[in-house]
Every structure is written in structure tokens, then in C-alpha cells.
Structure 1
Amino acid sequence: MSDTSPLPPVRLASEPELARDALAAPLLSRAARLARWASPATRVDAGGALLPEQLPAAAGELGLSGDEAAASVSEAWRMAVDTGLVEITDEEQGTVAAGAELRRLTGGSPHDVLTLWLTALDAVLADASVPDLDGLIDAMDEGGAVDLSALDWDPQAEAEFLDGVLANLYLLTVGESGPGAGPVPLPALAASMIVPSDMGEPTDDILEQVSDAMMRLDDQFRLLEPIGLVVHRPVDEALLEDAESGTDGGRPAASAPGSDDELDVARYGMVRLTPLGLYGVRARLLEAGHDAPAVGDLADKGADALLDGTAAFPPPAAHAETEQWLARREPLAAARELLAAARGADAGGPLRRLRCQQALSLVGAVAEPALREVLDDAELGGLARVWLTERGLPDVPPPSQDMVFWLTIDTVAAQLAAEGDSEELLALVQGLAEQHSGFFAAAWRVDHPHTADVLEAMGRLHPDKKTAKEARKAAFKARSAHGG
């Protein structure tokens, strides 16, 4: 993923909502309960872990029992120590006390809670990148040191792989064409990291790598779910048994991620980011230098930042961002600011005016004076007339032919910038050519910086060869006339 390519904007829950989710995350909740439970009688070993004789009481505090209780207690205690909820006061004596972070967690602001949760997330992600215990034991030498070469494990590469997986999951969640809040099959997620984008049919070797990565991700997401990052449906145990026995059931079929049989796909494991997970992954992306905007980032900025910033947003995100921006301003003043920011003959001008028009559609009739003030403006007069007419307001002067053609070129240029050669643009191009006889004879004369580009696009898109040729000729005339 490029550090310079902006990611799609994400709609985050509010900080209070996210903080509540963080406090409810099972792992952090248990860590906090153990921090409150710890007393002067609590003892830890040299590594900060609870002594074995203390585990039953800690398990009782958490309401845990059974074979997994001790492991769950140890995991929660380690989290309490890693995040500063518990502090070791005397390493020789093994005594502990509640840490300063516990006070922040229980009495701090939502931002304080989320900051501590991010620390907890870092710790869990570090654990998720470590090989399983059996592998570590096998790689130990006689002195107890771990031989990393024997593990075939590169800590940095493993961490980068997991970060890449989470980034792809983030993209699938917030992307315009992604599944939104729906779960993603683990084979598809693994394939996104392994299968080359230009590969047709995956080879057996690639499928084997995808299968191995899928199983590794299944283990990792089991660790990440208790911190509230994801909702995870594990791989079906029957598939794991098939994998161990060497039957084909252990490998995801090449068609599995796209299969119509959702139940069959789900057997290979599913995962989705929670609202808290979106917040956490975005925070990590920002820390890594990515441009990961969130809806609401522009609410306190000027209209120029709003119109330019939402230029590449998908329509729903642009709408939501604009609503938040307008909510902080008096409607008439906001309309005037938007119109002023929409002016300009630069490359971004048409798309700014389109975003301005869309923003003004959310403003009530109280903005009428601002629109009437620009009726004679060469760049804004057309959109002002459209706004006034759509609301059925009286005394709207008819536009001149020059203004009509200028607005037409500006609109098509904006659509080109926003969506490229889309089906909507094709329909617009066909409609213009059919409804206005002699359109190209007049259009090439329009004094707009994008006239030639628009006419070239019309020539490229129009399905009728004769009409397309007329458009290309008009584009040539426009470039010649305007020194292009």
C-alpha cells in the first residue's frame, strides 16, 4: 500500500461510544478487574507473572473455571502489567500495586480510555505475531534461548504481514465497493496478501500458501477478538481435522471465497472489524504515515478545505462530511463561504463546484440571498439558477446561451474528475448530443479551461461513430482556439 495514496474516508463512532466498547472488551475488562483485585499480598515472579498459587483466587475474581481458566488469568494479568494497570513495586519481593493507568481507565476521559486501549492493542498484536508455544519449545537450545533460525520466523516480516492483513481488511470495510460491515472470508483475506494481482488461475503452490496463511490468520484472529478488534468466526474444526489427516477438505477451494454457498464459505473462517477495530487500525495506519481520513475531519476547516477534501470521497462519505460541516455554521454564511470557495479556473475547479452544488442542496431556503448575489457570476451564475429554480423560487432570470454551454462543460468536467468514464457520464454525453442539435459546433467556442478535455471525452465515449468524430473535431478546434 502506498503511503501517499489517500484511503477511503471512514465513518467512526463517537469517542464515548468507542470508549465504552474498549472498556467492554473482554481482555481489557479482565485486566482492569485483576488490577483492582491486586493487594499487598499479591505476588509475582521475576517475569511479572502471577505465582501459581495465586491463580485460583484470580480466576475466582474473574468468574473463570475449567481447564482454560489459568491461561485466561495469565493472559489478563500480563495485559494489566503491559498497560500499566498494575505496577511491580518491588521486583525482589514480587509485590505489586494498582498502576496510574488504572485511574486513567476508570476515571479518565474517553480519549484517555482509547489511548490505553491502543497500548493494549499493540501488546496483543505483538503476541499474535509470535509462533505458537509448541514451536517455541522445539526451537529452544539447552540453555533455554530460542533459536529463531530453527523457527523459520522473521519477527519483522510476521508483524508486517499482520499489519498488511489488517490494512486490507480496513480497505474492504471502508472502500466504496467493499462489503461494508459484512464479514470477510479468511481465504479471501489471505489471498489478498499472497496471490499476485496479475495472476489468473492460482497455482497449487500459491493455493498451499493461501491455505497456510488462512490457518495462521485463524489463530491470530482468535487472539485479537478478546481485545475488541474483530468479530471472528473460526475455521470449522472438521476442516482442521481434514487438514491434519491430509484430505482435501483442509485446503480452501479456489472458488470458496466467491462461492454462492455462504455456509460453505463460512466454514473456512470469517472476520470483520468492529467499530473499535476500525478506530484502532486507522490509528495504526496514521502512525505508519498513511493518509486515512475520517468523516468529520473537515468540520472545523474552511469551505475550501471541505470542497477540495471531499473531491475524492465516495458520495455517501462526502454527504456525511458536508452535513457535519454545515451543522457547525449559520446556513446563509455557510452558503456564501461555499460559493466563494467554488470559484477557480484551476484543474480542481469543476469538481469543487459540483461539491458546492451538492452541499448547497442540503441548505434551506434561508440561503437564497447568497445564491442571488452570484447570478451574474460567470462561474457560479448557472448553478445559482439551478438551485433557485429547483426550489420554485420566483424571479429567476433565464441564463444566456453562453452560460448554459459553460455550465454544461463544467458539469461534464466535474463528472470526469469524480468518476472517470462511468455509465452515468456516458448517459449524460449521449443525452447532450441527442437533445442539442449543433451542440459541438457551439461547444468548442466555450471559454472554459476544460472545453477540449470534455469534447475529447465525448468523442471517446459516444457509441455513435459519426457523433464521436464530430466531438473529436470540435476538441481539435477548441485546442487550436485556446492555444492548447
Structure 2
Amino acid sequence: MSAEPHPTLPPVRLPADAELARDALVAPLFARAVRLARWAGPDTRVEVGGELVADQLPDAVAALGLDTSDADSAVYASQAWRVAVDTGLVDVTEPEEDGADGSEGESAEAQSGTAVPGEDLALVTGGAPGDVLDLWLAALDTVLADAAVPDLDDLVDALDAGGEIDFDQLDWNPRREADFLDGVLANLYLLTVAEGGAADRPVPLPVLAASMVVPDGMGDPTDAVLEQVSDAMMRLDDQFRQLEPIGLVEYQPVDEALMAESEEPGDVGAGAYGGDEEDVSRYGMVRLTPLGRYGVRARMLEAGVEAPAVGDLTDKGADALLDGVSRYPEGAAQAEIEQWLAGRELPTAVAELLAAARGDDEGAPLRRLRCQQALAPAGPEAEPAVRAVLDDPELGGLARVWLAERGVADVPAPDGAMVFWLTVDTIAAQLAADGETEELPLLMESLTAHHAGFFDRVWRVEHPATAYVLEAMGRLHPDKKAAKEARKAAFKARSRQN
């Protein structure tokens, strides 16, 4: 999988390995592969490449309990057998090439290879959940490789006079097709894990197709681009049909009536852009399953993409936790913090968090914000550790806020220096967490309204982010007079720092 599109991704929330392994075992294609591996025996014969010989397919279909009169059943059996061989659920001994040993008169049975259950089959029932998931990932590789191959009719049309595939006529590049499918899955994954993204909701197929085709910043797509979107949708429709049986996605296919209604090549793409929500569902809807999220993430990690999961930091120290969740969306950060706290004695954990929140580096304000978030649900057990930092210049304000919120009566009032330092730290943390949001000007207005002569005093605050915060206030403060005062104060703070 290409590592280029999204070098850093939001954290994904995954079920436990045991639950994912159960999902893998009931995925239709993987379950069929397991059944065929158990069926394989001394009478099973294979061709070069490990494929079942043609007259064995009816027996394989019957072993799967499929309808032997249905032509598709042989296709399902062949796919399942290929997965069983590629994953090591079946061990095959391929036949020698015809005539290699001078025995051209041998029977078909003598010229066939053999197949037996593989050693890895025992992992299905006797292995750990991780063993099952490794087998499923190997199966996924096989299915993705098959999905990147052109339609059989296209392959037949591209045969030259000698019976070889003319790849120039086919316009098929295996690496390009694999990269395209990986890119689609990466975009689907990003839409799924992004804060406020698709989550468990299905994604319209046109959205995925457009994400691979429409240039960034383009307004209304041109007819040529819409035709490319249509072509991509048709490719993806076929590919997601192949990926659904392995448990990667849940897929609602494109309504075939749309193709009959379309008169021009770009009509499908144009309709997908212009239709209402109900119409869009006719153009295909796809959702990554929890197992699918696991699978796409595993491929990204293998490719060197940073794709964190909630729970990755559970066994790390408080410093790693706060640094890690500083890059997470708020909801994912809260979930990670809760898992981290769940396995620790609260008083000790609180003391570790407070110690890790100290610092005057660029990331320190956001670490303190996440520390405050971590302490929010803590009860009376945390009070001694919080009280211990009341006199700390960097944590004293945070400690006072926490104690005051719990109605503690003997909280010492902060001095002016601490109040202004905490104000700068708070705004710096918000800027680092969410950027220049619509809510930030209101926070700035609220903070400055409570302190007469705010800008005359704040530029002297000994905080590394003072000038940066004042410059942001000069841009964002809703009161024009206050914004002008902020810009003047920022100039003084910057001069003082220099």
C-alpha cells in the first residue's frame, strides 16, 4: 500500500482482537477457504499453480454446500481454493510439466499434483486471535490482487493472434491498478476515522471516485472529469463486489437501472454530483467494517504510514500519553486517556500526568490542556496530587481550576501573574488543538473583558507563546479596539523577547 496520500492519520477505534478474529472466521470467503482446506485430501488433484483440476470443482462446490447447478458456484469454489492455497491453509504439490520426465502416456491422475490440509489450518481453531487475523490478512492480499485484475471480458478482447495478452491494448498496468485500489481504501479509511467523518455511516461511491479523480480546488467538474468519475465508479463497483465476501466492506452496489438510463459516458458521474441524498444511494454506498478498518490499517502500517489506534498508548508513560493525544481529535484523545487511566492507581497516575504536563516547549500548552482533560473525571483520590502543584508556576492555575470546580473551600486565590500566564497558556493550547476556530474569538473576548488593562499587562508575561497569542488576538478579537491593542502588545512582547 502506498504511504504517500496520508502520512499521518487520526486514531482508529478497533474492537478487541478476539472480536475481530470472530468476524474474520465468519467472513464468507474466508470461511469457504477453511472448509475447502478441511475437505482437501489424498484424492484432491491440482494443476500447475495449485488450481483445482476442472473435474474436482463439482466436488468442491458440494463440499461448500453450494448449488451445483449454479454457474457462479464454481467461481466461488475457485476463489475459496485460491485463498486456501495462498494463506497456507492448504499445502499443494504441483505436478511436473508435461513430458518433463518422459512419461507422456501417464493418466491425468498421475500427471496431477496433490493437496492436503496445511499446518496453518490448525491455527483456525487452536491459534490465538492474532494468528487468525494474520491468516485473514494473507487472504485479503489475495483478494485485493484479484480485484485489481481487469474484467475477464476485457482480458479476452486483449488477446493477440498468438493467444498472449496485449497489455498496450488492455491499457492495464498491474502496479497502477493496485495503487489506485490502495488509494481508494486509504481515502475510505480517512473518511471513516476522521473526527466528524463517516464513522459507521456508508460513504457514497461517487465521493470515493471523485476523491481519486477530481483535482483539488476544482469547482464544477468538467464533462471530461465527470466521465473519469463515471469510469472510476464502474471500476470500484466491480472491485467492492469482490471485496465484500472477505469481510472488508459492506457494499450496496450501483443500481443497474442507472446504466440503462445513461445516454452519455459522463451521465453517471453527473447524476451522482447533482442528485439528492436518496438518488445518491443508487450510485453505490460502501462502509468499512471494523475488520476492514483493521485490515486497511495493517496494510498502512506495513507501508510505513503512521496510523495510530486508540489503545496504542495504554502501556506507555504519562509523557508519551500526553504527547500522543496532543495530536488526536478531542473524542479520540478522551478515549485513549480513559484506557490509560483504567489500568493504573489513580493518585500515582495523576502525579505522573502533572509531571509530564510541565515544560516551556512549543507543545507544552496543549499537553497541559490534555492533562486537564485527563483529570476532569478524577474524584477525591486525585486531590493530594493536585494540591501538591498549587505553587508550581506552570501547573498552579490548572490545579486551582480543578479544585474550584469541585467546590473545595480553601483554594488559595491566584496572583495576577498566574492569572495572565494561565490566560496565555489556555489560548496557546486552543490554537494548537483546533486552530483559529469560530469559538476562539468569543473565548478571547470573555478573557479580556474580565481584566481591566489586560493588554497593558499581558505582554510582560513570561511565557514562550505570549507574542504568538497576542498576534492571534490581533487577528481574531471581535472588538476592533481590543484587536488593535493586541497588535501593539504583540509588538512589545516580540521586541522584549528579541
Q: Is the 8 A contact 1:229 1:277 kept in 2?
A: yes
Structure 2 counterparts to residues 327-338 of structure 1, below 5 A: 327-338=342-353
Contact 2:227 2:267 (8 Å CA) reproduced: no
Cα distance, 1:465–1:304 mapped onto 2, change above 3 Å: same
1:190 and 2:205 correspond: no
C-alpha separation in 2, matches of 1:440 and 1:47: 77
In the TM superposition, what whole-angstrom CA distance separates every residue of 1:109-145 from its partner, at most 9, and x where no partner exists? 1000001111000110000010111111222234433
Moved more, 117-126 or 96-105: 96-105
SS of the counterpart of 2:478? coil
Residues 185 and 270 in structure 1, CA contact (< 8 A), matched pair in contact too: yes
Q: Which of structure 1's runs of 4+ aligned residues deviate more than 6 A?
A: none
Task: Show the counterpart of 1:206.
Answer: 225
Task: Decide whether the 8 Å contact of 1:242 with 1:248 is kept in 2.
Answer: no
**2:255 maps to 1:251:** no
1:289 CA drift (Å): 1.2
Correspondence for 2:416:
401
Q: Which amino acid aligns with 2:121?
A: L
Work out whether residues 323 and 362 of structure 1, in 8 Å CA contact, stay in contact via their aligned partners in 2: no
**Given residue 234 of structure 1, which amino acid in structure 2 is its aligned partner?**
P
| Structure 1 residue matching 2:269: 3-state secondary structure | coil
Residue equivalent to 1:80: 84
Q: What's the Cα RMSD here? A: 1.6
SS in 1 for 2:92: strand
Report the Cα distance in structure 1 between the residues aligned to 2:7 and 2:92, rounded to whole angstroms. 44
On the 8 A contact 2:50/2:93 being kept in 1, the answer is: no
- Decide which moves more: 394-403 or 136-145: 136-145
Aligned residue among 320, 325, 333 for 2:340: 325
Cα deviation, residue 439, structure 1: 0.9
Which of 104, 128, 131 is the equivalent residue of 1:112? 131
Confirm whether residue 382 of structure 1 aligns to residue 386 of structure 2: no
Does structure 2 retain, via aligned residues, the 8 Å contact 1:351–1:413?
Answer: yes
Amino acid at match of 2:139: A
In structure 1, how many angstroms separate the alpha carbons of the residues matched to 2:430 and 2:32? 52
In 1, Cα distance between the equivalents of 2:305 and 2:5?
5
Mapped partners of 1:226, 1:400: distance in 2: 65
The CA distance in 2 between the partners of 1:147 and 1:136, in whole Å, is 9
Cα distance, 1:480 vs structure 2: 2.0
CA contact (8 A) 1:3 1:289 kept: no
In structure 2, stretches of 5+ residues that fail to align are: 96-110
TM-aligned CA deviation for residue 204 of structure 1: 0.5
Q: How far off its partner does 1:72 sit?
A: 1.1
2:486 counterpart of 1:467: no
Opposite residue 215 of structure 2, the aligned amino acid is: P
Match of 1:17 among 11, 19, 22: 19
Counterpart AA for 2:355 = A
Cα contact 2:148–2:239 (8 A) shared by 1: yes
The C-alpha deviation readout for 1:65-88, integer Å capped at 9, x for no partner, is 122111111111111111111111
Indicate yes or no: 2:178 matched with 1:174.
no
Residue 71 of structure 2 corresponds to: 67
- Give me the whole-angstrom Cα distance separating, in 2, the residues matched to 1:4 and 1:72: 35
Q: CA deviation at 1:207?
A: 0.3
Note the C-alpha offset of 1:190.
0.5
TM-score of the pair, normalised by structure 2: 0.93
Taking a change above 3 Å as real, the CA distance of residues 36 and 270 of structure 1, as seen in their structure-2 partners, is same
> C-alpha separation between the residues in 2 aligned to 1:247 and 1:341?
62
Structure 1 counterpart of 2:233, one-letter code: M
Matching residue of 1:31 = 33
Alignment correspondent of 1:55: 57
Deviation track 1:183-215 (CA, whole Å, cap 9, x = no partner) reads 111111000011001211111000000000000
Structure 1 stretches of 5 or more lacking a match? Answer: none
After superposition, residues 257-336 of structure 1 pair within 5 angstroms as 257=273, 259=275, 261-336=276-351
Alignment partner, residue 250 of structure 2 = 231
CA-to-partner distance for each residue in 1:290-311, whole Å, 9 max, x for gaps? 1111111111111111111111
- Give the TM-score, by structure 1 length: 0.96
Cα distance in 1, alignment partners of residues 384 and 216 from structure 2: 53
What is the CA distance between 1:2 and its match in structure 2?
4.2
* 1:435-474 matches, cutoff 5 A: 435-474=450-489
Read off the aligned partner of 2:181 and give its amino acid letter: L
